[in-house]
Chains A and B, each alone.
Chain A
Amino acid sequence: MTVAEMANALSVTVRCGGDAMSREIGGCYCGDLLSMVMGRAKADDIWLTVMGNMNSVAVATLADAACILLCEGVEMDAEGEAKALQQDVPVLQTELPVYETAAKIAALLK
């Protein structure tokens, strides 16, 4: 399932997304402590977090995550969005909490 298909299936907002919207999602990781995410998220994961700033974009790039999905109604700040566009990291946003979103993703990735 690609990032675009996932965004559609979850009915979440696409804050920004370029070519990488067609990337295949391989798994899912949830977490907000960036040092932990960097070490434990796998390449191609959809990453669920409430950290909407440029550091999350840098971490997504380094961990090679497929995209960032901001939960709990958190929005990516302007600097983060600029960096996400530059690095081609899709940023999705939802009002739903992390757990509910992850549960839906688990069903979709089965």
Chain B
Amino acid sequence: MSGIHLHYDVPGDDFTRAGEASGSVKKALRQLGIPAEVIRKVAIAMYEGEINMVIHAYGGTVDVEVTGEDITMVLKDTGPGIEDIDRAMTAGYSTAPDNVRSLGFGAGMGLPNMKKYTDEMTVESEVGVGTTVTMKVYITPKA
């Protein structure tokens, strides 16, 4: 099904611009009349993803597809990749450097939060090649 497609570039190593894509998606979804709770989930998951790309992967791209049923976000980077995805998904496990922690991030909650706030999530990663995270949030709860 064709829907609305949004594309963003997330610059690496630039915390000032992290959140621009999720902020912009939030605005767009509001204009489309998407329920507030759905927007909140999308915004949180996407911001965590953006922050991950800034911290770990020298930036990347985000593609958002909105259909009548759901919102799909594809976050793609060409960073170092994730060695052990299960471990990365564990709450509290973090490889973030200290300067990131002093900014209020790096607590090992990014990927777990992304999973928590989305209805479907897959992480594909290859060390030295990059990581693609695909997340889906249902607009209407599935029976």
Which residues of A does B touch, CB under 8 Å? 32-36, 38-39, 43, 51, 53-56, 58-59, 61-64, 79, 83, 87
Given contacts A35-B48, A35-B110, A43-B36, contact A53 B19 (CB under 8 A): no
Residues of B contacting A83 in the complex (Cβ-Cβ under 8 angstroms):
16
CB distance from A44 to the nearest CB of B (A): 12
At the interface, yes or no: B15 with Cβ under 8 Å from chain A? yes
Number of residue pairs spanning A and B whose beta carbons lie under 8 angstroms apart: 65
B104 touches A39 (CB 8 A): no
A33 touches B40 (CB 8 A): no
- Cross-interface CB contact of A61 among B23, B48, B104, B107, cutoff 8 Å: B23
Given contacts A43-B36, A55-B103, A56-B104, contact A35 B109 (CB under 8 A): yes
Which residues of B does A touch, CB under 8 Å? 15-16, 18-19, 22-23, 26, 36, 40, 43-44, 47-48, 51, 103-105, 107, 109-110, 113, 116-117
CB distance from A47 to the nearest CB of B (A): 12
Residues of B contacting A51 in the complex (Cβ-Cβ under 8 angstroms):
103-104
B23 touches A39 (CB 8 A): no
- Cross-interface CB contact of A53 among B40, B47, B48, B104, cutoff 8 Å: B104
Query: By DSSP majority rule, is chain B's interface helix, strand, loop, or mixed?
Result: helix
- Cross-interface CB contact of B44 among A32, A39, A79, cutoff 8 Å: A39
Complex alpha-carbon distance, A53 and B16, angstroms: 9
Report 10 cross-chain contacts, Cβ distance below 8 Å, ordered by A residue. A33-B104, A34-B103, A35-B48, A36-B109, A54-B15, A55-B15, A58-B18, A58-B22, A59-B47, A62-B19
A58 touches B23 (CB 8 A): yes
- Cross-interface CB contact of A39 among B19, B36, B51, B116, cutoff 8 Å: B116
CB distance from B117 to the nearest CB of A (A): 7
Residues of B contacting A79 in the complex (Cβ-Cβ under 8 angstroms):
16
A55 touches B105 (CB 8 A): yes
B22 touches A53 (CB 8 A): no
The closest CB in chain A to the CB of B110 belongs to A35
A33 touches B23 (CB 8 A): no
Complex alpha-carbon distance, A64 and B43, angstroms: 11
